[in-house]
Structures are given as C-alpha cells and as structure tokens.
Amino acid sequence: MFLFSSKAPRLSVHEARDRTSGERPESVLLDVREKPEWRAGHAPYALHAPLTELAAGGALPASARGRALVVICRSGHRSRQAAKLLVERGADAVDVEGGMNAWAAAGYPVVDERGNSGSTA
C-alpha cells in the first residue's frame, strides 16, 4: 500500500478536462481502471493502462510516454496510487480527485468500448 502526502497535487475533474482536451492538450488523460471498467465507460480521448499492469512493471501506452499525465480511476484512490508510482518512475503525473464518478457527475462524456454512451460502474 502507498502512503500519500497531503500536499500531493490533485486536480478537479474540471482542471483535468481543461488539461487533457482540445486540439493540443497539454496532458494525456490516463485511465488506470481494470479492463471491464474501461470497457463499460471512459472519457472519449483517454488512454488505458490498468494499475495492476503498471504496478507489475508494465509500460505506459506509447502515445503517453514522455508526456504529462493526468491519471483517473473510478473514485480517485487507484489514480492516486498510480500517480505516485509513475512519479517515482520519473513521469510528470497528477491524479483526478473523485475520478470517473466526479467526471460523469460534472456532465462530461463517458463512452463504452464501442463509442456509445457508457457508465462509470
């Protein structure tokens, strides 16, 4: 289990969306939930890298390497772990407070693996 500093930076879903959307986003939105959760629903432009794979030494998706990362999960717990792990590996990573639950509650789009309306469950 990871220990966290209360001073570790966290983003709101609004800040996360601002940093990761648009024609030239400054950061990559990285979803660290497991495959069934990802398939059920994720942000349309997010990349997927499950925390279990990252913790086992797995690599980031090629298009995320060397980029600033905004890490998201369902509620914010796993993304906080993943951000800490990624920072320890030298990445520029912050997590999203409230995760995909807060994302959906803010009215931001969630799509399933086929691009249809998805859920955060």
Q: Which residue is catalytic, options 73, 93, 100, 104?
A: 73
- Tokens representing residue 86 in the block: 């990624």
88 is catalytic: no
Report the phi/psi class of residue 90: left, alpha or beta, with left for phi > 0 and alpha for psi in -120 to 50. left
Helix intervals (H) in 1-121: 13-20, 35-40, 51-55, 77-88, 99-105
Q: How far apart are CA 119 and CA 121, in angstroms?
A: 6
Q: How far apart are CA 104 and CA 65, in angstroms?
A: 27
- Report the sign of the C-alpha dihedral through residues 39, 108, 104, 84, in that order: positive
Residues annotated as catalytic are: 73
